[in-house]
Amino acid sequence: MINKVGVIGAGQMGNGIAHVMAVAGYDVFLKDVGEIQLERALSVIDNNLKRQVGRGKLEDADRVAALARIKPVLTDDYLAEVDLVIEAATENEEIKKAILAPLGPQLKPEAIIATNTSSISVTRLAAVTDRPSQFMGMHFMNPVPVMKLVELIRGIATSEETFNAIRDLSVNLGKTPTPAEDFPAFIVNRILLPMINEAIYTLYEGVGSVQAIDTAMRLGANHPMGPLQLADFIGLDVCLSIMQVLYEGLADTKYRPCPLLVKYVEAGWLGRKSNRGFYDYSTDTPTPTR
Ligand SMILES: NC(=O)c1ccc[n+]([C@@H]2O[C@H](COP(=O)([O-])OP(=O)(O)OC[C@H]3O[C@@H](n4cnc5c(N)ncnc54)[C@H](O)[C@@H]3O)[C@@H](O)[C@H]2O)c1
């Protein structure tokens, strides 16, 4: 039975995971490296919960109860109490391995460990823990409180019992779980990122302008957002790193990152978070840059 959960990493994804867990009634310990990160995460969660109340999706009493279920922590004492740890720290293999390796001896023997990694091999991460059969990928989408999907990734040693426990938990969170094998970028990013990369090639080769490409895909393929607008939202550095994982992991030139994407990242034009990507966000209405 999963009742208490530890979430390691209180960034964009970790705070969203803590949010949905707490709303679903789980007790959550939210861990990060400093007070600043934890304070920021709690304030984001508070704002997002209030927005859900404002939209009639949550009662105010449930917002208060959810917030009370989240305990920010800086030390590891909580580990002895939890039934599940979800690692949602920075996407860097060395950082993740350093977090995961020492967990085992501090956890209950039956506790499960999950990782929210977008691209690192689940099997490789499992191998540094003392419990590869109780380890798997639980890949939430951003923003977590809004997006319905959770990709569930088995490592080579993941047991059926572990997989079923995380599948049932995902359903309890109101999400739809989809199984994906442990291949680079799993399903969503394996399909989505090459499309975005192709949209950037289309721009690079002058087939269309930023506006033409986004309008074409919104109105011609019924996508809610154009691919270049979506790239800016995801972050162009994140897009590039996923393309590199596909290119190197699958050793196929069809995943070659577009040189224009590389140039934008080198220029520090990372999309919304840096105020400039394929659009310029310094004005009220984003203006296309090409
Ligand atoms: N951003 C997305 O769209 C998205 C979507 C799905 C999955 N992911 C995955 O989720 C994970 C987190 O991504 P994010 O976008 O939330 O990143 P982020 O940079 O917003 O947050 C990462 C957090 O981890 C913390 N951290 C780093 N080292 C730590 C340590 N040793 N102990 C505790 N906390 C530590 C950082 O201080 C930071 O607050 C990554 O694996 C990423 O690939 C991201």
Enumerate the active-site residues: 139
Task: Say how far apart CA 92 and CA 21 lie, in whole Å.
Answer: 24
Task: Count Cα atoms within 13 angstroms, Cβ side, for 16.
Answer: 18
pLDDT digits (tens, 9 = 90+) for 169-194: 999 999 999 999 999 999 999 999 99
Strands of the chain, DSSP E: 4-8, 27-31, 70-73, 84-87, 112-115, 135-140, 149-154, 176-180, 279-280, 287-288
pLDDT band at 119 (very low <50, low <70, confident <90, very high): confident
Place of tokens 């977090």: 99
The atom of ligand 1 lying closest to the CA of 37 is 39
List the end-to-end C-alpha distance of the chain, in Å, as a whole number.
53
Q: Is 23 helix (H, G, I), strand (E, B) or coil?
A: helix
**Residue 107 CB partners (closer than 8 Å, separation 6+):** 79, 80, 82, 85, 113
Mutating to test ligand 1, I would choose from 15, 17, 76, 91 the residue with most ligand atoms within 8 A of its C-beta, which is 91
pLDDT band at 166 (very low <50, low <70, confident <90, very high): very high
Mean pLDDT of 81-104: 96
Ligand 1 centre to CA of 98 (Å) is 14
The atom of ligand 1 lying closest to the CA of 90 is 22
pLDDT digits (tens, 9 = 90+) for 235-252: 999 899 999 999 999 999
Taking the CA atoms of residue 220, residue 147, residue 141 and residue 174 in that order, the dihedral angle to the nearest 10 degrees is -140
Q: Is 184 helix (H, G, I), strand (E, B) or coil?
A: coil
Q: Is 205 helix (H, G, I), strand (E, B) or coil?
A: coil
Q: How far is CA 111 from CA 3, 72, 131, 165, 216, in A?
A: 11, 20, 9, 11, 48
Ligand 1 centre to CA of 155 (Å) is 20
Percent above pLDDT 90 for the chain: 95
pLDDT digits (tens, 9 = 90+) for 30-82: 999 999 999 999 999 999 999 999 999 999 999 999 999 999 999 999 999 99
Task: Say how far apart CA 262 and CA 198 lie, in whole Å.
Answer: 13
Mutating to test ligand 1, I would choose from 92, 118, 140 the residue with most ligand atoms within 8 A of its C-beta, which is 118
Q: How many CB atoms lie within 10 A of CB 94?
A: 8
Task: Say how far apart CA 185 and CA 249 lie, in whole Å.
Answer: 9
Ligand 1 centre to CA of 219 (Å) is 34
Q: How far is CA 243 from CA 83, 195, 283, in A?
A: 34, 11, 30
Ligand 1 centre to CA of 89 (Å) is 4
Domains within the chain, CATH numbers bracketed: 4-180 (3.40.50.720), 189-288 (1.10.1040.10)
Residues at CB less than 6 angstroms from ligand 1 = 8-14, 31-33, 37, 88-91, 95, 99, 116-118, 139-140, 142
CB 240 within 8 A of CB 256: no
Query: Is the per-residue pLDDT at 91 higher than 90?
Result: no
Minimum CA distance residue for ligand 1 atom 4: 142
**Residue 231 CB partners (closer than 8 Å, separation 6+):** 196, 199, 200, 239, 261, 271, 277, 278
Q: What is the pLDDT of the chain when averaged over all its residues?
A: 97
CB 38 within 8 A of CB 72: yes
Task: Say how far apart CA 164 and CA 133 lie, in whole Å.
Answer: 12
Chain centroid to Cα 258, Å, comes to 23
Counting Cβ atoms within 10 Å, is residue 228 exposed (0-12), middle (13-18) or buried (19+)? buried
